[in-house]
Amino acid sequence: MSATRYDVIGIGNAIVDVLSHSDEEFLQRQKMPKGSMSLIDEKRAEAIYNAMGPVVEVSGGSAANTIAGVAMLGGTAAFVGKVKNDELGHTFARDIRASSVAYSTPMAESGPSTARCYILVTPDGQRTMNTYLGAAQDLTVDDISVDEIRSAKVLYLEGYLWDPKRAKEAFVKAAGVAHDNGRTVALTLSDAFCVDRYRKEFLGLIRNKTVDLLFANETELKSLYETGDFDAAVEALRQDVSIAVVTRSEDGAMVVTRDMTETVPAFPVERVVDSTGAGDLFAAGFLYGFAKGLPHVDSLRLGALCAAEVISHMGARPERNLRDLANENGLL
């Protein structure tokens, strides 16, 4: 087994979150259902941007959020995701590197522009999102660095990026490199709608051992096994995967293996302000603990703490330093 350089390397959609405060009238004028997430084309993206007020731009995307969380906990981390050589592409690269995450995916010189998610926040704290996936969907096997993949203890794959054919090929290549070097391959199911589209393929990845560690929330897990019975879904999962982490919002989380189940409660928060990024940061905490060889239940507690921090404020990135927070709570 070759030496490790990273605790975790993630592959996912490289998206710039463009956040702006809004009112109900703006949403109505733009014909945006409040609280919705819509996929849009580039023309619509430009029209929304031109109509928005002052904005804040920050690198985003599910796996990127997770990897940034691993780095904040003190882990060594890298991210693979495609942007274009444009203004937002440079914003993404600069921002994620500022999070102490290694990022070296070559920028696209042609084709669609950098992916972005326009997030309109109304006074009641609700977020209405419009996502243009753009260049993020153009990741290929040529963007996979064999040296980087084999030097990470854990490879973390984002289910959202399973749509484009060439990205699937990149996933499979990266997983093969990881396994050839004795590494762990993790997958997050990302979204119940994503599971609905690719249930058979996701189950195939799990059952043929392409995936060693699975992350899912309760809704995604039920969708995966097409059942409304959570306990039945957990038992089916136990037969299929070596290890899985299942989050259940206010009901806490569990780790499931062939032989046992361990659970932890949700970490208490005074008020849930914005649940966006909760699953991403839970994964960050668990992956950090897993890569460092902590007991599974301690990794779950770290995940619960990270999720609690991110849901206590607006935005999908932590405002508190996660390592300091973990130390304060006796978890590191």
**HEC string of 200-235?**
HHHHHHHHCCCCCEEEEEHHHHHHHCCCCCHHHHHH
Specify the length of the chain in residues. Answer: 332
In a domain, 193, yes or no: yes
In a domain, 28, yes or no: no
In a domain, 25, yes or no: no
User: Which structural domain range is residue 106 located in?
Assistant: 6-14+61-112+135-328
Q: What is the CATH number of the domain that holds 155?
A: 3.40.1190.20
**Per-residue pLDDT at 275:** 74
Q: What is the mean pLDDT of residues 41-58?
A: 92
Give the helix/strand (H/E) hosting 132: strand 127-132
**Per-residue pLDDT at 1:** 60
Flag whether pLDDT at 175 surpasses 80.
yes
**Per-residue pLDDT at 20:** 87
Percentage of the chain surpassing pLDDT 70?
99
In a domain, 106, yes or no: yes
In a domain, 38, yes or no: no
Flag whether pLDDT at 161 surpasses 90.
no
- The total of structural domains in the chain comes to 1
Flag whether pLDDT at 3 surpasses 70.
yes
pTM: 0.92
In a domain, 54, yes or no: no
CA–CA distance, 85 with 115 (Å, rounded to integer): 12
Cα angle value 10/3/242 (rounded, 5°)? 55
In a domain, 24, yes or no: no
Model confidence band, residue 182 (pLDDT cutoffs 50, 70, 90):
very high
In a domain, 234, yes or no: yes
103-107, 165-169, 221-225, 288-292: which range is least confident on average? Answer: 165-169
CA 263 to chain centre: 22
**Per-residue pLDDT at 270:** 84
Annotate 276-292 with b (16+ C-beta within 10 A) or e (fewer): bbbbbbbbbbbbbbbbb
